[in-house]
Amino acid sequence: MKTIMPELTSVSEIERYTCEGCGNEVIVVEAPIIGGPNKGDLSRHKRGCLCWENEQAREAKKVQQKLKVRHMIERYSTVNPDLANACFENYQLLNPNLEKAHSMAWEYADSFLLDEPVNLLLSGMYGLGKSHLAYSICKVLSDKGFVSLFISVPKLLTIVKSTYRDDSNFTEAELLDVLSKVDFLALDDIGAEKVRKEEEGDSWATEKLFEIIDGRSGRHTLYTTNLTSDTLQRKVGPRNFSRMMMNTKVFKLEGDDYRINNKRF
Ligand SMILES: Nc1ncnc2c1ncn2[C@@H]1O[C@H](COP(=O)(O)OP(=O)(O)OP(=O)(O)O)[C@@H](O)[C@H]1O
Ligand SMILES: [Mg+2]
Ligand SMILES: [Zn+2]
């Protein structure tokens, strides 16, 4: 029997005690893990301890939640094909301002610390590489093991709306929960969302942005925008703007549109 199922016989008792938490008589046993990536390693069980069982259940739930989040991120953290290969290495330092932008973005990713949240706002005209740099940061942080998400705000709001449909795989609350918890969130093109002029600063989009931005206090968020501070403030509303500016480094990119550079006709 021992040769067929060694794990059956290799459970060994480590100690016995009375748990202060649940009051039960607890037996600590050690047994080799039967399968999976950690096969053969020893794992400890506290037989009879209710606290330990609850703790295990909580851990399992956390793992489940993380898997779900990962799934959602993989599904939505897609970028347009023109950005798919964007990284720090292929960003051309076309002028001193963009060179500064590049080194500032690089430093941001390099010095990223979870418990010292700093936000970043990249502003400037079209085609200067705001999204390019934002996505580059996202990639570096993902490689470092941080949960990072890059998403355009107009697209994000469409996704939020899609959760209202009956056939949605997840609820709005679940989506907002993911957005509030990722280590790094790049909100690309904030202010580009469609809002009726008379509803600027006071629309459904404003309210959703508020939930997202407010939910991220204490975490790292990056914004990119084409708008100037005045226009952006009007567009997203003063409450959102105020939160966006808290703890936030602002950098204005300047130069020529990379998309149309050298294509004058
Ligand atoms: N300095 C650069 N070096 C290399 N590629 C660049 C540079 N600037 C922009 N690009 C490329 O040009 C395209 C447009 O850049 P990007 O999307 O980052 O601009 P943007 O500033 O976000 O513009 P918009 O305001 O229109 O969103 C992308 O494919 C990007 O990779
Ligand atoms: Mg962009
Ligand atoms: Zn206990």
Supply the DSSP string of 42-60, one letter for each residue. Answer: EEEEEET-HHHHHHHHHHH
83 plus 47 within the same structural domain:
no
Read off the pLDDT of residues 231-259 as tens digits, 9 standing for 90 and up.
999 999 999 999 999 999 999 999 999 99
Based on the fold, state whether residues 137 and 246 are members of the same structural domain: yes
Residue-number span of the structural domain to which 141 is assigned: 79-253
Q: Which of 192, 82, 73 shows the shortest CA–CA distance to 138? A: 73
Protein residues with CB under 6 Å of any ligand 1 atom: 82-83, 86, 90-92, 94, 98, 126-132, 189, 224, 226, 258-259
Over range 25-32, report the average pLDDT.
93
The total number of structural domains in the chain stands at 2
Of the given ranges (22-31, 48-57, 127-136, 195-204), which has the lowest mean pLDDT?
A: 195-204
Shared-domain flag, residues 11 and 103: no
Residue 233 CB neighbour total at 10 angstroms: 19
- Do both 213 and 136 map to the same domain? yes
Strand-pairing partners, residue 246, are none
pLDDT at 117 over 90: yes
122 Cα–ligand 1 center, Å: 12
Q: Based on the domain organization, do 134 and 198 belong to the same domain?
A: yes
Note whether residue 1 is domain-resident. no
pTM for this model (two decimals): 0.79
Which CATH number fits the domain that encloses residue 85?
3.40.50.300
pLDDT for 6 equals: 52
If asked whether residues 110 and 144 sit together in one domain, one would say: yes
Q: Is the pLDDT of residue 19 over 90?
A: yes
Q: At what angle do helices 153-162 and 172-181 cross, to 10 degrees?
A: 140
- Average pLDDT on 26-44 reads 89
**Residue 76 reports pLDDT greater than 80:** no
Which ligand is nearest the CA of 89, by number?
Answer: 1
163 pLDDT higher than 70? yes
- Final residue belonging to a domain, choices 46, 70, 94: 70
Which residue's CA is the nearest one to ligand 1's atom 17? 131
Higher pLDDT pick, 72 / 242: 242
Q: Is residue 261 part of a domain?
A: no
Tokens of 59: 């851990």
